Amino acid sequence: MLLAIDIGNTNVTLGAYNEDVLSFTARLATGTRRTSDQYAVDIKEILSLHNLEFENIEDCIISSVVPTVTVAVNEAISKLCHIVPLTLGPGVKTGLNIKIDNPAQLGADLVAGAVGAIAEYTLPCIIIDMGTATTVSVVDENGFFRGGAIAAGVRLTLKALSENTAQLPSIHINAPENVIGTNTVDSMKSGLVYGTAGMLDGLINRIEYELGGNATIVATGGLSKEIIPFCNHNIIYNENLLLDGLKEIYNKNN
């Protein structure tokens, strides 16, 4: 089995592939101060929860935007499975032609998402990843990564509101019945959900204008399910896009 791991600022997402079949997914909270032993214990328990032993893991690929956690998770996998994970970075074949000012600046998560989208969808493609940040990536009709946009994530926006204002509370993020909120909580929900949906619609319109036509639009990330139903565009939800991209990258290197 191949273990694919995506290390984000908020969560560490794991998925195990038996050939091309995704057997399970799981999430851990990202902790920059956690040791490799702590991650090893958690990963072993997750595998056990899904009736797998660490001996079943034949190889591993990792993408990460948190370098300190990358080291700890690499060491954890090495201790558990006695293998050296393939870490997405310089020297790893991705098949992605990156056409931005400095290709080295492109985050591993955006690379994995783009590779997954190219493998699964008709191009050109717009990829929305709603995590700690909301990122919008663009792959043109030739499969070239052209760039994109980055905005604060929905939870990050909520945190800024609740921590930097005296009377705005922390709330559960879901859509209120009406855009026009009649109380503080519903007004905040409206701004977060409908406001983010409107931002995405606006960005998509401008991106498609620059591309010169319509694009396939795919969304991933924890809060996508709460937001994309309120967008005007037809957006495909793919929870495991980054893991699928990591599997594709692993195959290109093996």
CB 151 within 8 A of CB 197: no
Q: How far is CA 4 from the centre of its chain?
A: 13
Strand ordering across the sheet containing 86-87? 21-29, 11-18, 2-7, 59-64, 86-87
Q: Tell me, yes or no, if 37 is annotated catalytic.
A: no
Number of C-beta neighbours around residue 173 at 10 A: 18
Residue 12: strand pairing partners? 7, 28
Q: Which of 6, 37, 42, 109 is catalytic?
A: 109
Pick left, alpha or beta for residue 19 (phi over 0 → left; psi -120 to 50 → alpha; otherwise beta).
left
Q: Which residues are catalytic?
A: 109
